[in-house]
Structure 1
Amino acid sequence: MKHLPVFDKFPQFANSLEFFKKKFFCVPFLAAFNTLTVLMLVCLSLYAKLNKQGDAVERLFSDPFNVWFPYEGILTGVSEVLWCIPVATCAFTFGLLRQKEPRSRSAIFLFFSALLLGVFFLDDRFRITLILSRLGISIKFIYLCYGTAVFLYGVQFWRYIKTTPYLPLVLAFLLFAISRFEDLFESQSLGVHAMLEDGTKLLALLNLALYFLHICHQEIWRDLRPREKR
């Protein structure tokens, strides 16, 4: 009797495997990012097992929760959600626009907006400025770098920004400046400090999210209208 491959003996399994592979690899970067994430988790598991550091790994996934004050940090969580909205929206819209006009002004504007806001989000979420200051780098120097980046961003795209309802964008960056410079001064009142630092940041993120949602909606709609006329 002729030898058959093992998958030929189970045609349903072979078809299911082929279907799974087709669906899995049709999404860009899905396989790569899943593989990298699994490898990272495996390495963390091995490290915890070999060094008996299970509690250290557990801290990486722990939620900041205070049973006595369940509302603690709720506005910080809202701010983090608002951070993600303009970054994801700009990146997604840029991906759509670049398929038709890769070098259009709006596509380039949204790309650098996503890049700049993404850097700010990573800094805010992972406390990069605080870590760098602990390493001896001046906070004023870091803020100078960020301020320069915002200035160059504004100069480069001002002509495009003027064609949009830019008041929320300008207001957002002014509120961000108030929030960041609050770190340089000591306030005697914790409530005043929270409002000047975190309250202004929350308001800035709200304006930023609404501005870019509006801009991205307009750009996508403008890109779709010529196709509807065909």
Structure 2
Amino acid sequence: MKHRHLFEKNYQLSKFLELIKKHFFTVPFLVGFNILTVLIFGWLSVYAKINNQGDGVERLFSDPFNIWFPYEGILTGISEVLGCISVAICAFTFGVLRQKEPRSRSVIFLFFSALLLGVLYVDDSFRMTLILTRLGISKKIIYLCYASGIFLYIYNFWRYIKTTPYLPLVAALFLFAISRLEDIVNSRSIGLHAMLEDGTKLLALLNLALYFWHVCHQEVWRHFQQSEKN
């Protein structure tokens, strides 16, 4: 009886491990990203313990909130959400459509759109441009690299972009240009500087989100229509 009970426990444990393995390995990169995150957290914990830097680790997870001005940073938060939406929409639609049409122009366009928007989002969220300028790299050089990447993106996909309602995309690029130029010029008026740099960026991100939502919606709808015909 004791051996039977032990056998049932081992069988249940085996089934549980198989269930975990099935779920974790079904989603691409799930195991890798989880292990990497745990290792990073472990390293931070050891570092904080050895160097007595617990408060520094706490600041990494602190909320950017000012109790006296609850609205502080709200438009910046909205901008980050809009930027994330564009990346997520493009990446998700690419993942859906590449199963059937891996080499189609629209799928390649969505892949590079997600890649370019992802780089811009990471730069904006983690202040990569600011970090690089602190290391001695000129902002003009950094913006020139971004402008070159955007130019190559438009040059390679212009034929496809022309088949879409691209006016919001053009407006977004124009607004981004104003935002980056204002960052370099740096107006004396604080309010004017905020509107020209952050206000134009928010409006640009809104146009990008609406544009890619429409494009991705149309591509998914076209994909479903073709599937029904077949």
Give the TM interval when normalised to the shorter protein: over 0.9
Shift of 1:208: 0.1
Any unmatched runs of 5+ in structure 1? none
Kept in 2: contact 1:8–1:14 (CA 8 A)? no
Shift of 1:92: 1.2
1: distance between equivalents of 2:61 and 2:109? 35
Using a 3 Å threshold, how does the CA distance of structure 1 residues 7 and 149 change in structure 2: closer, same or farther?
A: farther
Q: Deviations over 1:22-49 (max 9, x none)?
A: 2222222211111111111111111111
> Are 2:187 and 1:187 equivalent residues in the alignment?
yes
Residues 228 and 42 of structure 1, relative CA distance in 2, 3 Å threshold: same
Q: Give distance in 2, aligned partners of 1:7 and 1:217.
A: 52
Aligned to 2:209: 209
Residue 103 (1) aligns with residue 99 (2): no
Instruction: Describe how 1:62-77 pairs up with structure 2 within 5 A.
Output: 62-77=62-77
Matched letter for residue 171 of structure 1:
A
Cα deviation for residue 188 of structure 1 reads 2.3
Residue in structure 1 matched with residue 169 of structure 2 by the alignment: 169
- Structure 1 stretches of at least 4 aligned residues deviating more than 3 Å after TM superposition: 1-14
After TM superposition, list the pairs within 5 Å mapping 1:1-230 onto structure 2: 8-230=8-230
Assess, with a 3 A threshold, how the Cα gap between structure 1 residues 91 and 9 changes in structure 2: closer, same or farther: closer
TM-score (norm 2): 0.94
Q: Point out the more displaced range, 157-166 or 13-22.
A: 13-22
In structure 2, relative to structure 1, the CA distance for the partners of 1:65 and 1:2 (3 Å cut) is: closer
Letter in 1 for 2:184: L
> Does structure 2 conserve the Cα–Cα contact (< 8 Å) formed by 1:48 and 1:54?
yes
Residue identity in the other structure for 2:169: L
- Output one character per residue of 1:139-195: Cα deviation in whole Å (capped at 9) or x when no partner: 111111111111111111111100000000000010000001101223222111110
Q: Give the gaps of 5 or more residues in structure 2.
A: none
3-state SS of 1:69 partner: coil
Deviates more, 1:9-18 or 1:218-227: 9-18
Greater alpha carbon shift after TM alignment, 158-167 vs 11-20: 11-20
Once the two structures are aligned, what percentage of the paired residues are identical? 71
* Count of matched residue positions in the alignment of Structure 1 and Structure 2: 230
Query: Alpha carbon RMSD of aligned pairs, Å?
Result: 1.9
Deviation larger for 162-171 or 83-92: 83-92
Contact 1:122 1:128 (C-alpha < 8 Å) held by counterparts: yes
TM (norm. structure 1) is 0.94
Cα deviation, 1:2-32, whole Å, max 9, x if unaligned, reads 9789664454344333323322222222111
